[in-house]
C-alpha cells in the first residue's frame, strides 16, 4: 500500500490548484496524490471544459504567491471596467480599475486553457502523482491515516484526504457530511459570443425581469455569456436557432456593444446553492465546489473556493509533519466560516434582490445602484468582495 502525506480526490481547478500550491508551500516536504476520474489534459474533462471564469484581483494575488500566475496570465484577459445596470431603468454603476487603483479588476480565463497548463505543471513535479483515470471506491479511516481502495484496485493511504470532487462530492456523501440546498429556480445558459464593438476589457452585468445577463471579456474579442433564466424560458432559448437566440439575447442585453453577431455552442446548468456547514471530518478537509457551489451572480464561486485552498495550505504549512491532524482541520474550519457565510449571504441576497420584479424592490435596487455610483463609499464593501480583498 503506497503512502502519501495528502491525497486529493478531484483534479479540476480546486484540486489541481491545491496540489500545486501545497507543493510550492512545502518545498518538496509533502508527497501528494491526485485521484481523478477524467484525463485532466483532455478537452472533454467536465472541470476543464469550454467555460470561462473570472479570477478576482485577490485570487490573482494567491496564484502569484504559489508561483502559478505566470503560467495562467498567458491565457488571461484583463477586466478593466465593470458595468452594472438594470434593464429598462435608470439605475447603474461602473467600477474602473483606475479608480482603485489596481492593474485590473480581475481576469477571465478559459478552464480548458488552465487545465492544460496545470497538467503540465503536475506532470513535471517530483512530489505529485496523478492517479488518472481512477476514483475512490472504498474509504476507511483510522486514528492516524486514511486507507483507500481505488476502482483500479490500487490501495493507497494518506494522513489527509481532501474532497475537491465537486458539488456532488462522493467523498462527502461517503462520510455523511450534510449538504444544504436552495433552488433559485433559474437555469444558466452559457455560450461564447462575438459583438460588433470591441469589449476593451469591459465586463457587464445587466439585470432583467428574467434574471441577470453577464458578459465577460475574452481573448480574440469574444465574450463569455452567462444568462440566468427561468427553466421554461431557458429551454426555449436553448432550442432556438442561432439567429433567434442572438435576437432574444440582444433584446435582453441591449446595444452597449453594438450588434451581437455570432454565438458558439450553448450549454446550461440549473442554479442551485449547495453548501456544507461542516467542511472537515476526521482526516478529511473539503474545498471548492464540494464545500459550496454558488449562483454565478457577482462571480464569487470559484474565487471563494480558491480562498478555501489558500487557507488550507496555510494551516498545513504550520504542521507539515501531520497535515491531517485535528488541530490543522479545526483551524481551517474556523478560519473559513466568516468568509463563506458572508459570501453565500451576499450572492443569495443579490439573486433575491435582482430577480424580483415587484415594483418596490425594483425601485429600491435602482436607487441603490444610483447611490453607489454617486457615493463611492457605499459600494466599497461589495467592491472589496468583488476584488477578493477579504479576510480568510
Task: Select the highest-mean-pLDDT range: 46-60, 77-91, 197-211.
Answer: 197-211
Report the alpha-carbon distance of residue 29 to residue 9 in Å, rounded.
Answer: 20
Report the alpha-carbon distance of residue 68 to residue 107 in Å, rounded.
Answer: 14
Top pLDDT among 221 and 45 is at 221
Mean pLDDT, residues 97-113 taken together: 88
Structure confidence at residue 361 (pLDDT)? 44
Average pLDDT over the chain reads 88
Top pLDDT among 45 and 222 is at 222
Structure confidence at residue 370 (pLDDT)? 43
Q: What percent of the chain has pLDDT over 70?
A: 87
Inter-residue contact 102 to 57 (CB < 8 Å):
yes
Question: Which three three-digit cell numbers place residue 176?
Answer: 455523511
> Look-up: residue for cell 435602482?
366
Q: What is the pTM of this model?
A: 0.91
Report the alpha-carbon distance of residue 218 to residue 233 in Å, rounded.
Answer: 26
Report the alpha-carbon distance of residue 166 to residue 169 in Å, rounded.
Answer: 5
202 class by beta-carbon count within 10 Å (0-12 exposed, 13-18 middle, 19+ buried): buried
Closest CA to 285 of 327, 236, 239, 232: 327
Report the alpha-carbon distance of residue 191 to residue 215 in Å, rounded.
Answer: 10
Structure confidence at residue 346 (pLDDT)? 83
Task: Select the highest-mean-pLDDT range: 191-195, 204-208, 356-360.
Answer: 191-195
Helix axes 57-65, 301-317, angle to 10 degrees: 30
Report the alpha-carbon distance of residue 136 to residue 378 in Å, rounded.
Answer: 48
Size (the chain), residues: 392
Confidence of residue 291 (pLDDT cuts 50, 70, 90): very high
Structure confidence at residue 209 (pLDDT)? 80
Report the alpha-carbon distance of residue 317 to residue 319 in Å, rounded.
Answer: 5
Q: Which domains does the chain have, with CATH numbers?
A: 2-79+108-180+274-351 (3.50.50.60)
Alpha helices in 240-325, H assignment, sequence order: 242-253, 301-317
Alpha helices in the chain, H assignment, sequence order: 13-26, 57-65, 69-73, 111-124, 170-174, 231-239, 242-253, 301-317, 326-354, 359-374, 380-387
List, for residues 329-377, the tens digit of each pLDDT value.
999 999 999 999 999 988 887 777 665 554 444 444 444 444 444 445 5
List, for residues 60-82, the tens digit of each pLDDT value.
999 999 999 999 999 999 999 98
Pairing label, strands 155-163, 284-286? parallel
Q: Is the pLDDT of residue 91 over 80?
A: no
Contacts of 24 (CB under 8 A, 6+ apart): 66, 67, 68
Dihedral, CA of residue 48, residue 58, residue 67 and residue 31, to nearest 10: -70
Report the alpha-carbon distance of residue 206 to residue 252 in Å, rounded.
Answer: 8
List, for residues 45-64, the tens digit of each pLDDT value.
665 566 899 999 999 999 99
Mean pLDDT, residues 212-217 taken together: 93
Inter-residue contact 167 to 159 (CB < 8 Å):
no
Inter-residue contact 9 to 136 (CB < 8 Å):
yes
Q: Is the peptide bond before 323 cis (omega within 30 degrees of 0)?
A: no
Amino acid at each position: 500500500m503506497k503512502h502519501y502525506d495528502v491525497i486529493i480526490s478531484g483534479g479540476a481547478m480546486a484540486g489541481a490548484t491545491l496540489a500545486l500550491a501545497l507543493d510550492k508551500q512545502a518545498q518538496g516536504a509533502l508527497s501528494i496524490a491526485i485521484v481523478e476520474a477524467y484525463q485532466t489534459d483532455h478537452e472533454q474533462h467536465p472541470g476543464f471544459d469550454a467555460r470561462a471564469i473570472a479570477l478576482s484581483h485577490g485570487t490573482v494575488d494567491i496564484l502569484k504567491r504559489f508561483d502559478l500566475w505566470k503560467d495562467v496570465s498567458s491565457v488571461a484577459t484583463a477586466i478593466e471596467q465593470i458595468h452594472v445596470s438594470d434593464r429598462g431603468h435608470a439605475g447603474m454603476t461602473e467600477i474602473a480599475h483606475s479608480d482603485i487603483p489596481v492593474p485590473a479588476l480581475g481576469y477571465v480565463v478559459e478552464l480548458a486553457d488552465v487545465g492544460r497548463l496545470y497538467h503540465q505543471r503536475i506532470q513535471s513535479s517530483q512530489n505529485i502523482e496523478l492517479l488518472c483515470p481512477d476514483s475512490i471506491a472504498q474509504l476507511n479511516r483510522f486514528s492516524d491515516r486514511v486507507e483507500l481502495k481505488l476502482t483500479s484496485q490500487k490501495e493507497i493511504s494518506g494522513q489527509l484526504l481532501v474532497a475537491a470532487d465537486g458539488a456532488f462530492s462522493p467523498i462527502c456523501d461517503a462520510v455523511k457530511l450534510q449538504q444544504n440546498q436552495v433552488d433559485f429556480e433559474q437555469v444558466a445558459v452559457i455560450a461564447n459570443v462575438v459583438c460588433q464593438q470591441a469589449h476593451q476589457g469591459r465586463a457587464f452585468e445587466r439585470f432583467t425581469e428574467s434574471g441577470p445577463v453577464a458578459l465577460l471579456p475574452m481573448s480574440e474579442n469574444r465574450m463569455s455569456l452567462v444568462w440566468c433564466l427561468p427553466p421554461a424560458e431557458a429551454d426555449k432559448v436553448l432550442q432556438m436557432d442561432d439567429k433567434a437566440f442572438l435576437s432574444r439575447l440582444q433584446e435582453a442585453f441591449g446595444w452597449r456593444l453594438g450588434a451581437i453577431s455570432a454565438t458558439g455552442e450553448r450549454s446550461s446548468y440549473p442554479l442551485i446553492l449547495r453548501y456544507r456547514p461542516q467542511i472537515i471530518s476526521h482526516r478529511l478537509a473539503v474545498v471548492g465546489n464540494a464545500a459550496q457551489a454558488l449562483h454565478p451572480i457577482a462571480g464569487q464561486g470559484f474565487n471563494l473556493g480558491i480562498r478555501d485552498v489558500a487557507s488550507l495550505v496555510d494551516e498545513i504549512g504550520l504542521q507539515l509533519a501531520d497535515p491531517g491532524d485535528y488541530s490543522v482541520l479545526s483551524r481551517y474550519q474556523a478560519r473559513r466560516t466568516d468568509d463563506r457565510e458572508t459570501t453565500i449571504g451576499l450572492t443569495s441576497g443579490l439573486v433575491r434582490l435582482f430577480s424580483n420584479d415587484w415594483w418596490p424592490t425594483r425601485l429600491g435596487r435602482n436607487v441603490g445602484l444610483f447611490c453607489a455610483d454617486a457615493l463611492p463609499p457605499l459600494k466599497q464593501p461589495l467592491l472589496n468582495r468583488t476584488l477578493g480583498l477579504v479576510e480568510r
